[in-house]
Structure 1
Amino acid sequence: MSNMRVYEVLAQAFVAEGVDTHFALMGNANMYWSSLLAQKHGVRTIHARHEHCACAMAGGYSRATGKIGVASVTCGPGFTQIMTELACATRGNTPLVIFAGDTELNASWSIHELDLGPLAVATGAHYVPMRHIDSVLECVREAFHVARFERRPVVLGVPMDLQQQPFPYLPDYKPSTDLGPTPQRAQPDPALVDQVVEMIAAARRPIIIAGRGAVHSGAGAALEALAERCGALLATSLLAKGLFDSNPFAIGIAGAFAGNLAREQFAESDLVIAAGVGLGHYTTEGGYLYPNARVVQIDTHPRGLWQGLRVADLHIRADAKASVDAILTKLRERHIALPGLRTHVLAQRIADEVIDSKEFPVEPNTVDPRAALLELDRVVPKDWDIVVGNGHFTNFVLTHMRGRAPERWHVINYFGAIGSGLPAAVGVAVTRNDGKVLLIEGDGSLLMHIQELETIKRHGVRLLACVLNDGAYGAEAHKFRAHGMDPSEAIHGRGDLAAVARGFGLRGVTVNALGRFEALLREHQKGDTAELWDVHIADKIPSAQYRRIHFGEI
């Protein structure tokens, strides 16, 4: 007999799994476990004001660290609040373990009673129900093992009465890290490498696309060497943004966020080599981005069909860096080196390109969002983490901000949901603990969970929030206008978000003119609290992406 209750043993097991930070909204089904985690084991615990936000904070923590994010919620309505974030984490391959307190196993009735499993599984999460005292530690180990090695969220359902039972055994816990496979680089099939080399030798307009898998593999330098060897241009998926920003032949993000020059080059390409990238709907513009190209996909989990699209002509199931190194070796052995697309003229065109130069009238006391983002990009140091919420404004951010490592970008749009940027930024800021975190968010998205400004103040979280405030749900307003319809139902007014921030005890500043960011940043860095800039942007300037997709602009 251990003289411990089950919730105490569970807390000890979580610590053994390496948990150092935990995000929670406390209720009667998780209160004893979460309190013990903080008070006895010294796990930093951030108490959110909404269950969705607790999980989104854990997601931000995971994306910033590469570790498993841990959150806890109570039973019934505490659990139903987190469905959106579970779906976001599933789509984003974000490893989370959610300690979900559950109603009593032996109760005849509870107002909070709910079958957690079907809801969790419907989001794509894995569900581990804890039902017997003999298997509680095995359940914890399974949860962490699945999260770590399948890279997806796991819900651990823990009944309240089971938590309070005396644990009848010695709490001898072997963490999931002791049982997992040894990390290794999957090597490419030499015969497939030869096929890629033949395709490169025959190509005249090759383009390389790198994704998040290439970043994790450390393949950036090898891909640049390959591109130089075969005369290829370089592009990335959204999740690898920034990987090649310093290369003179880099053309930015492939697909929906591509500029006109990149779209022109993709349309004429005869070979696309994709490394560590899924080649889904947005990256390939629904399959129309490179209609004349043969496609090679290098990925540890390649797909023949994904998001309704045929992905590639040749798939190599292997690590990105190992595969690119093998291809380079074979090219050198065969003395194959091609000019491809690389000319001084094209390099100059890339350097001189202005992504969006169309002029629009700007209302008094507002700023052009494109100019504001260029100024922000120039002022904010490149070693800051940039957390980007989801909305029409996202197009401006991803188009006009450059020169940052992919690990510094956190674009929260895996499920197309708004409202997750602020809590995700809290998770990143808790991880960095240096104040060098910039959240760029829209007003409608921020207002969904603005109560977390109180969490930021209470826990002393240091970050800077730049809210691009158009007084509307901008995406919907622009789509209404594109169809000649009245957008008024999508317009709610700007409000005074800076005053709201000050009401929560933070610094808040309204920005309605260009040229202020540099001085404001200096003042922010002198302080020791979070700050919100309420940037009033002109509300009738659609992004280049929206003008092309919704307004039919060529």
Structure 2
Amino acid sequence: MSKRKTYEILAEAFRQEGVETCFALLGDANMNWATALAGLGTRMVYVRHEHCAVAAAMAYARKTGEPGIATVTCGPGLTQILTALPAAVRANLPLVIFAGEAPLKSGWYNQAIDQAPFIAAAGATYRPLHHVPLMADAIRNAFLEARMTSKPVVLGVPFDLQERVWPEEAPLPSPSTDLLPQVGAMPPHLDDIARAAERIRKAQRIVVMAGMGAVKAGAGPACRRLAEQCDALLATTLPARGLFHDDPYSIGIAGGFSSTAGRELFTQADLVIAVGTILAHHNADGGKLFGQAHVLQIDVEPVAVSQGLVAAQSHVRADARLGVEALAAVVAPRPATWRNEETIRLVRETPFDPHPYPAEPGLHDPRDVVAALEKSLPPEWEMVNSSGHCSYYFAQMPSRPQERFLTIREFGAIGNGISFAMGVAAACPDRTVVLFDGDGSLMMHVQEIETIRRHGMKILICVLNDGAYGSEIHKLRAEGLSDEGAVFGRPDFSAIARGFGIGGEKIEDLADLPELMTKFRQTGGAAIWDFPVSDKILSPVIRRGHPAKKAH
């Protein structure tokens, strides 16, 4: 009877956890395991850079609610993922990463490195697996930890141990899903609800603001009911944008990306009910958005200070849906004064950024590009927003529901968009994915266009091409400094796309979009649409944060 290798059993341990998709870049320390996992029926997405494997797994986790799975080799393979990991930690995304380790039997190995401190510095958990009979249990426990903490867990398995024969007396444990505590959602304390209801009774103008905790708890309908009862407006954090997209009293995103109308209305609020959100620094625009309002937080882990700011003054500890439902049950309905036609018109008719900029021949205004895409893109397509200067504009698409729009901006890194799009495409293989990105961000991992083509992913990439790193040139100019180090010229992304074997178009006239959209829907596949935009137009985020210095 043939003896089975340890890496084969470890692959079975992953497969037993329900792993259907794994993002991978192979090397000595993971290639045998990954090949065995593929042989068990797991779909392997073989990327061109280790960072992209983990970033794609992040988007997959956000979209599916299941742990995202990635694998990289030891040493340089692991160090390449250290930009993605902090973002996954801060975004509360469950990941399990099979990283391998250098062989224990070698006195010297070129790629050996103490991997644990790197992972700990990123805020994730590192689990070295050095005892063969307990490795399968350790994998089960890693999945259990990722599911319960919503954080990444990295497994280091020396590849010489992976080659050992698996001991017959070490059976696979039951999967982590069998051990997950089966508990109900946390209800609020009645005293907390009474105090919160009194706070609402005394307030004049209220905004109910929902975050990802509200999305996960299914609290959207309850938030709408509460807002209607207490004459409140609705808003969301950036990751939850679109949760109230069809409500006339939704003022959109709360934070640095707030629209002009949204900012005006937030300044009038004296109470913000924050539902299922950590109240991040950007959510309050550094305290400048609704700093005059009392903040009542409803969350299972309420906070007083978040990311350096006093975030909330009163709290209800509860599941987002149950907390809001309990409040709605005791709050007396009040007459509508803020919820009126004037507010609806302000929200509907005020441009998200009305600041005037002169037209430049041959270049688009990014606001016009977004408006044209908002009209042309099918509502059922999955939307992915990247980071950088361009991301402000692409967030301003008010008709798009939350379940069709993904953004992960924690840690502030650009270059992730193409990976996030691949993760969503793997999670939703029957839908077309639209990636909104900037030229600088896309060029960071442009090699993944080949991955998209090879795996037959249906991804349309829309690029705002200003020929530079947008945030940096505007900040340098505001300081009166040379922008030379952030200007690179405008790559011809239509030619680049065709070089990789996918479709490519340079959009010189926005009136062509409907015809191009019809053509793309007929042909399918993947493509890049290159929108040359002015580098003289600053987003409101940059204008507020980096006003031009006066000459002396």
**TM-score of Structure 1 vs Structure 2, range by shorter chain:** over 0.9
* Counterpart-to-counterpart distance in 1, 2:375 and 2:174: 49
**Residues 30-45 of structure 1: pairs in structure 2 closer than 5 A:** 30-39=30-39, 41-45=40-44
**Secondary structure, counterpart of 1:238 in structure 2:** coil
**Secondary structure, counterpart of 1:283 in structure 2:** helix
Pairwise CA distance, 1:486: 2.5
| Cα 1:464/1:224, change in 2 over 3 Å | same
Counterpart for residue 221 of structure 1:
221
TM-score, normalised with respect to structure 2: 0.97
In the alignment, structure 1 residue 231 sits paired with structure 2 residue 228:
no
**Residues 396-415 of structure 1: pairs in structure 2 closer than 5 A:** 396-399=393-396, 401-415=397-411
Pairwise CA distance, 1:207: 1.1
Counterpart for residue 101 of structure 2:
102
What is the letter of the counterpart of residue 359 of structure 2? V
**Secondary structure, counterpart of 2:181 in structure 1:** coil
* Counterpart-to-counterpart distance in 1, 2:343 and 2:451: 50
* Counterpart-to-counterpart distance in 2, 1:60 and 1:527: 26
Pairwise CA distance, 1:336: 4.2
Counterpart for residue 356 of structure 2:
359
Counterpart for residue 53 of structure 2:
54
Counterpart for residue 285 of structure 1:
285
What is the letter of the counterpart of residue 93 of structure 1? N
**Secondary structure, counterpart of 2:242 in structure 1:** coil
> Deviations 1:3-27 (Å, cap 9, x if unpaired)?
3211111000101101000111011
* Counterpart-to-counterpart distance in 2, 1:37 and 1:312: 46
Counterpart for residue 535 of structure 1:
531
> Deviations 1:472-496 (Å, cap 9, x if unpaired)?
0111111122223332221100021
> Deviations 1:184-215 (Å, cap 9, x if unpaired)?
21000001100111111111111111111111
Counterpart for residue 77 of structure 2:
78
In the alignment, structure 1 residue 444 sits paired with structure 2 residue 440:
yes
* Counterpart-to-counterpart distance in 2, 1:24 and 1:239: 26
* Counterpart-to-counterpart distance in 1, 2:125 and 2:486: 37
> Deviations 1:323-360 (Å, cap 9, x if unpaired)?
111111112xxx44343522222222222211222332
RMSD of aligned residue pairs (Cα, Å): 1.5
What is the letter of the counterpart of residue 490 of structure 2? R
> Deviations 1:377-404 (Å, cap 9, x if unpaired)?
11001221111111101111113x1212
Pairwise CA distance, 1:2: 8.9
* Counterpart-to-counterpart distance in 2, 1:93 and 1:186: 19
Counterpart for residue 460 of structure 1:
456
Which stretch shows the higher mean deviation, 251-260 or 73-82? Answer: 251-260
Structure 2 contact 433–459 (Cα < 8 Å) conserved = yes
Counterpart for residue 392 of structure 2:
395
Pairwise CA distance, 1:544: 2.2
* Counterpart-to-counterpart distance in 2, 1:172 and 1:259: 53
> Deviations 1:414-468 (Å, cap 9, x if unpaired)?
1100111101101111221124210011111111110111111111111101111
Pairwise CA distance, 1:170: 4.3
In the alignment, structure 1 residue 348 sits paired with structure 2 residue 345:
yes
* Counterpart-to-counterpart distance in 2, 1:8 and 1:470: 49
Counterpart for residue 6 of structure 1:
6
Pairwise CA distance, 1:134: 2.3
Pairwise CA distance, 1:48: 0.6
Structure 1 contact 304–311 (Cα < 8 Å) conserved = yes
Structure 1 contact 203–340 (Cα < 8 Å) conserved = no
> Deviations 1:8-52 (Å, cap 9, x if unpaired)?
11000101101000111011111111011112x111001111111
Percent identity of equivalent pairs? 45
Q: 1:372 aligns with which of 364, 369, 374?
A: 369
Counterpart for residue 120 of structure 2:
121
Counterpart for residue 160 of structure 1:
159
* Counterpart-to-counterpart distance in 1, 2:506 and 2:27: 37
* Counterpart-to-counterpart distance in 2, 1:292 and 1:89: 32
Which stretch shows the higher mean deviation, 178-187 or 370-379? Answer: 178-187
* Counterpart-to-counterpart distance in 2, 1:311 and 1:129: 37
* Counterpart-to-counterpart distance in 1, 2:23 and 2:481: 43
What is the letter of the counterpart of residue 538 of structure 2? P
What is the letter of the counterpart of residue 364 of structure 2? V
Structure 2 contact 133–170 (Cα < 8 Å) conserved = no
**Secondary structure, counterpart of 2:239 in structure 1:** helix
Counterpart for residue 263 of structure 1:
263
Structure 1 contact 22–44 (Cα < 8 Å) conserved = yes
**Secondary structure, counterpart of 1:285 in structure 2:** helix
> Deviations 1:228-254 (Å, cap 9, x if unpaired)?
100011111101101112111111111
* Counterpart-to-counterpart distance in 1, 2:457 and 2:477: 39
* Counterpart-to-counterpart distance in 1, 2:103 and 2:200: 62
Structure 2 contact 263–289 (Cα < 8 Å) conserved = yes
* Counterpart-to-counterpart distance in 1, 2:438 and 2:351: 24
What is the letter of the counterpart of residue 302 of structure 2? P
Pairwise CA distance, 1:92: 1.1
Counterpart for residue 313 of structure 2:
313
* Structure 1 stretches lacking a partner, 5+ long: none
In the alignment, structure 1 residue 274 sits paired with structure 2 residue 271:
no
Structure 2 contact 284–291 (Cα < 8 Å) conserved = no
Which stretch shows the higher mean deviation, 479-488 or 177-186? Answer: 479-488
**Residues 396-545 of structure 1: pairs in structure 2 closer than 5 A:** 396-399=393-396, 401-545=397-541
**Secondary structure, counterpart of 1:101 in structure 2:** coil
Pairwise CA distance, 1:138: 1.8
Pairwise CA distance, 1:183: 4.3
* Counterpart-to-counterpart distance in 2, 1:444 and 1:265: 34
Structure 2 contact 260–351 (Cα < 8 Å) conserved = no
* Counterpart-to-counterpart distance in 1, 2:526 and 2:160: 40
| Cα 1:340/1:278, change in 2 over 3 Å | farther
> Deviations 1:206-225 (Å, cap 9, x if unpaired)?
11111111111111111111
**Secondary structure, counterpart of 1:515 in structure 2:** helix
In the alignment, structure 1 residue 547 sits paired with structure 2 residue 546:
no
In the alignment, structure 1 residue 67 sits paired with structure 2 residue 63:
no
What is the letter of the counterpart of residue 243 of structure 2? L
What is the letter of the counterpart of residue 476 of structure 2? F
What is the letter of the counterpart of residue 506 of structure 2? T
Structure 1 contact 104–159 (Cα < 8 Å) conserved = yes
* Counterpart-to-counterpart distance in 2, 1:459 and 1:349: 45
Aligned residue pairs: how many?
A: 548
* Counterpart-to-counterpart distance in 2, 1:462 and 1:126: 34
Which stretch shows the higher mean deviation, 19-28 or 516-525? Answer: 516-525
* Counterpart-to-counterpart distance in 1, 2:493 and 2:206: 48
* Counterpart-to-counterpart distance in 1, 2:393 and 2:130: 49
Which stretch shows the higher mean deviation, 154-163 or 355-364? Answer: 355-364
* Counterpart-to-counterpart distance in 2, 1:289 and 1:467: 29
Structure 1 contact 205–340 (Cα < 8 Å) conserved = no
* Counterpart-to-counterpart distance in 1, 2:345 and 2:410: 34
Counterpart for residue 202 of structure 1:
202
What is the letter of the counterpart of residue 36 of structure 1? A
| Cα 1:523/1:110, change in 2 over 3 Å | same
Pairwise CA distance, 1:276: 0.4
Which stretch shows the higher mean deviation, 353-362 or 109-118? Answer: 353-362
TM-score, normalised with respect to structure 1: 0.96
* Structure 2 stretches lacking a partner, 5+ long: none
Structure 2 contact 196–316 (Cα < 8 Å) conserved = no
